[in-house]
Structure 1
Amino acid sequence: MIKKFRTQDTDAVIDVWYKANKLAHPFLTEETLKTVRAMVRDVYLPNTETWVYEHEGALIGFISLISSDPADVEVGAIFLDPDHIGFGYGRALMDHAAGLYGSLKLDVFKENHIGRGFYRRYGFKEVSEYPFEMTGDMVLKLVYRPA
Structure 2
Amino acid sequence: MITIRRSRPGEGARIIEIWRSAVDATHDFLTPEDRLALDEMVCGFLPQAPLWLAVDANDYPLAFMLIDDGHMEALFVDPAHRGTGIGAALVRHGLTLHPKMTTDVNEQNDQAVRFYERMGFRQTGRSAVDGQGRPYPLIHLEHQVDWPVSGQPAS
**CA-to-aligned-CA distance 1:45-90 (integer Å, 9 cap, x gap):** 53x53111111432110000112xxxxx110000101111111111
The answer to whether 1:101 aligns with 2:93 is no
Which residue is 2:55 aligned to? 54
Off by >3 Å, runs of 4+ in structure 1: none
Structure 1 CA distance for aligned equivalents of residues 61 and 54 of structure 2: 6
Which shifted more, 11-20 or 48-57? 48-57
Q: Provide structure 1 residue ranges, at least 5 long, that are not aligned to the other structure.
A: 68-72
Which residue is 1:113 aligned to? 110
Give the number of equivalent residue pairs.
Answer: 141
**More helix per residue:** 1
RMSD (Å) for aligned C-alpha atoms: 1.5
**What percent of counterpart residues are identical?**
25
The answer to whether 1:14 aligns with 2:13 is no
Which residue is 2:72 aligned to? 75
SS in 1 for 2:29: coil
The answer to whether 1:123 aligns with 2:120 is yes
Report the CA distance shift for 1:45/1:141 in structure 2 as closer, same or farther (over 3 A).
farther
Structure 1 CA distance for aligned equivalents of residues 94 and 43 of structure 2: 21
Report the CA distance shift for 1:15/1:44 in structure 2 as closer, same or farther (over 3 A).
closer
Q: Would you say the 8 A contact 1:16–1:61 is kept in 2?
A: yes
Q: Would you say the 8 A contact 2:100–2:145 is kept in 1?
A: yes
**More strand per residue:** 1
SS in 2 for 1:135: coil
SS in 1 for 2:134: coil
1:100 positional shift: 1.3
Structure 1 CA distance for aligned equivalents of residues 138 and 15 of structure 2: 23
Q: Would you say the 8 A contact 1:45–1:64 is kept in 2?
A: no
Q: Would you say the 8 A contact 1:63–1:75 is kept in 2?
A: yes
1:29 positional shift: 2.3
